[in-house]
Amino acid sequence: MARRGKKKGRPVSGWVIFDKPKGMGSTEAVSKIKWLFNVEKAGHAGTLDPLASGMLPIALGEATKTVPYVMDGTKIYSFTVTWGEERSTDDLEGPVTETSDKRPAEADILALLPKYTGIIQQTPPQFSAIKIDGERAYDLARSGETVAIPSREVEIDRLELVEINEAGQAVFEVECGKGTYVRSLARDMGRDLECFGHIAELRRMEVAPFNEDDFITLQELEAAWPPLPPKSEDEEAEASPASGTSPAPAAPRDFSVLDDFIIDTGAALEDLVQVALSDDQAHRVRMGNPVILRGRDAPLEADEVCANHKNRLLAIGYIEQGMFKPKRVFTQ
C-alpha cells in the first residue's frame, strides 16, 4: 500500500482578505498567498475576474471549511460602464460585437435602475464559469461555440449611479447577492438603453462579513515576508568543505509579522447563532459527540450554530431539542 506523503506547509488557519490587483487570476492569487504564508492548504471564497480588482477572501487551513458561508455573503462592487460598445466578454478583454452612436442621458439611466433592483432574472455572460453539460461556458466560448445559458434569479439590494465621468462613462455601485454577474448588468442596461455597454472597471469592495478595513495588499504581504535568518560565522565554518561536516539545518523563518494579517476563522461565522461550551462539552464535541446545552438562555432549536470554546471556534452544527450536534469540528 502506498504511503501517504507528508503535508507541506504550516498548519495555519484563518482568513486573509486580499486586495487582488488587476491582471491576477483568483487561482494565481490563492497560490501566491499559500506560498507567502507557507500553509498546507488554501482556497478562495468566490472568483474575481483577472481584469477586476478588490476583495478576494482567501481561507487558510481549517478556515476552508467556512468558505461556503462567506460565498453566501452580500457583495458590494464599484463598476464603470463604457457606452456605445458591447463586447463578447462583456468587459475590455473581448472583441467588439455591437456598436452604437447613441449615448444615454443621466435621467434615462436613473429611470432604468429600479428594473435592476430586487429579485431579477439574469443571464450569465458567455465567458463565465457556469457549467453547460459538464463544461465551463468560457471553455466553450473560447472554442468559438455560442451556447444558450439559462437565466436565473439573483438578488440586487441596491444599485446606484455614482457619477458620469468626464469620459462619459457611468460609474455605479451595487450591493448584491451570491451569483450576480456585474458584467451582465452592464450588458443588459446597455441593451435596454439601446446604446450597448460593457465593463471598463470593476472593483469588489466588500464580501460580508468582511469590509475594506480588512484589506491587505500584495505589497504589504511581500514586505512582511520573512527571509531566512543569516548564518553565524561559526555555522559558516562548520558547513565549509574543509570541515568535512554536513551543513546544519537552516533555522526556521519567523512568520509572526506576516501572521498578524490573518483574521480568525470564526470571523466568517459572526451571523450564526453563537454558543459557548464548557471544557467537558468541548471535549465531547471534539470527539464528534452531541452535548446538551444548559442555562436559561440556551436555544432549543437552530439550523446553523457556531460553537466556541474559550472564545475560539470549535464546531459548526445545529441544535435540536436543546442538544448541540456538530457537523464540522475545527482542530486548529
Domain boundaries, the chain: 14-73+210-224, 80-161+180-205, 272-329
Q: Which CATH architecture has domain 14-73+210-224?
A: 2-Layer Sandwich (3.30)
Residue 52 near residue 36, CB atoms below 8 Å: no
Return the closest-CA partner of residue 255 out of 228, 216, 217, 218: 228
Catalytic pick from 19, 49, 90, 91? 49
How does pLDDT run along the chain (332 residues), one tens digit per residue? 455 556 688 999 999 999 999 999 999 999 999 999 999 999 999 889 889 999 999 999 999 999 999 999 999 999 999 999 999 889 998 899 999 999 999 999 999 999 999 999 998 887 656 665 566 655 655 656 667 677 899 999 999 999 999 999 999 999 999 989 999 999 999 999 999 999 999 999 999 999 999 999 999 999 998 876 666 555 555 544 444 454 555 567 888 899 999 999 999 999 999 999 999 999 999 999 999 998 878 889 999 999 999 999 999 999 999 999 999 999 86
**Cell, residue 139:** 471553455
Instruction: Tell which CATH classification among 1.20.140.10, 2.30.130.10, 2.102.10.10, 2.70.98.60 matches the domain 272-329.
Output: 2.30.130.10
Angle subtended at Cα 222 by Cα 44 and Cα 23, rounded to the nearest 5 degrees: 55
What are the backbone angles phi and psi of residue 272, rounded to the nearest 5°?
Answer: -85, 160
Check: pTM over 0.75? Answer yes or no: yes
**Cell, residue 320:** 435540536
Same fold, 80-161+180-205 and 272-329: no
> What SS3 state is found at 276?
strand
Region 80-161+180-205: CATH code = 3.30.2350.10
Q: Is 49 part of the annotated catalytic residue set?
A: yes
Residues 6+ apart with CB under 8 A from 179: 152, 154
**Cell, residue 271:** 451571523
CA distances from 110 to 257, 285, 321 (A): 47, 54, 51
Beta strand 302-309 with 273-276 is parallel
